[in-house]
Amino acid sequence: MAEKWKNGLNWLMVAFAALDSGVNAIESLMERRGAFDYILLETSGLADPGNIAPLFWVDDGLGSSIYLDGIVTLVDVKNIQLSLDEEPIENSLPNMEVARGQHATTAHLQISYADVIVLNKSDTVSAEQLQQAREKIEAINSLATVHVTNYGQVQNLEGVLLDLHAYSGVDSLETARAVHSHLDPAITTISIAVPILSDSGLARLEAWLRNLLWEPNGDLLPSRQTSTKNYEVSIHRLKGRLILQSGSIKMVQGVRDVFEVTDLEGGTATFTARATKHPSDLAGKLVFIGKGLASAPLGEDLLAYLENDQ
């Protein structure tokens, strides 16, 4: 661990490759509560953020002053295609899929979990190569904010790499685009519409999410009970906004099989005021990032599940 001071802020940087050592490092900080403005976790090049994010996101034992602000992935634009095309290391990462010649590499995983992607070394490629790399990255994860840099330099840290509050809002839903599975079929982003929900409908939706995330290969979902064509999905990241008949608005956040549904931070009135300028925003929406999504009928599946409650 190393302490650093910058612009009057006390930072703690923790670099670790093993999850247990990182947990121990963070736990040791609890004796010095209030001593740090930011805790930066630097993982190794082979680390899977999906193992780490749920730990700091939902562990109340870490204290209310500690929260997961967001995940930042640094991408070498000149070599990213090589990283996406490399062969996966056998048994190196959980849930590694190899199907139809397509596989998710470490680079796929790190991009898919990111809330911010820094596309670095842009001066080493042509404008066309930079655009191609960006399109491929956004096809994998269209929820993340992308910053193009040289030498990793950004104008500001706050709001760009820090103070992201990625797990306390869903503004990025408005930038999530349709899936581009032809660019990279290994991991993709999809968006599905959610109707206005009753209280019982909300309970049904949460049950559907539990079935989808906890039983990805099971037969609890309607489409798996009625279709002869099975599909397998692996969800990496989930964000959503749910509109209730009562007028309240809920936020959905998820990483792998961990998710929560909470009141939207900022209040319903703030969101409704913003939506009056863009009426289409006042609608329910779920965005998934993961494997096997391009061919999975999740939208139809959710509607069928909700209709069973009526």
- The residues, any chain, with a CB within 8 Å of residue 8's CB and separated by 6 or more, are none
Whole-angstrom distance, CA of residue 264 vs CA of residue 285: 13
Identify which of 227, 204, 199 has the alpha carbon closest to the alpha carbon of residue 296.
Answer: 227
Mean pLDDT of 29-42: 70
> pLDDT of 121-147, one tens digit each?
999 999 999 999 999 999 899 999 999
Residue 166 pLDDT > 50: yes
CB atoms within 10 A of CB 280: 8
Task: Name the most confidently modeled range: 46-60, 188-202, 224-238.
Answer: 188-202
Whole-angstrom distance, CA of residue 76 vs CA of residue 134: 11
- Give me 183's structure tokens: 């660019």
Q: Please, which pLDDT band fits residue 283 given cuts at 50, 70 and 90?
A: confident
Q: pTM for the complete prediction?
A: 0.81
Q: Among 9-18, 23-32, 210-219, 239-248, name the one with the lowest average pLDDT.
A: 9-18
Task: Name the most confidently modeled range: 226-230, 284-288, 305-309.
Answer: 284-288
Q: Does residue 206 sit in helix, strand or coil?
A: helix
Identify which of 108, 61, 46, 40 has the alpha carbon closest to the alpha carbon of residue 80.
Answer: 108
> What percentage of the chain exceeds 90 in pLDDT?
31
Q: What are phi and psi of 226, to 5 degrees?
A: -110, -15
Average pLDDT of the chain is 77
- The residues, any chain, with a CB within 8 Å of residue 175's CB and separated by 6 or more, are 142, 143, 145
Residue 100 pLDDT > 80: no
Residue 10 pLDDT > 60: no
Residue that wins the pLDDT comparison between 263 and 232 = 263
Q: Report in angstroms the alpha-carbon separations of 87 from 106, 292, 297.
A: 9, 18, 29
Residue 181 pLDDT > 70: no
Residue 78 pLDDT > 80: yes
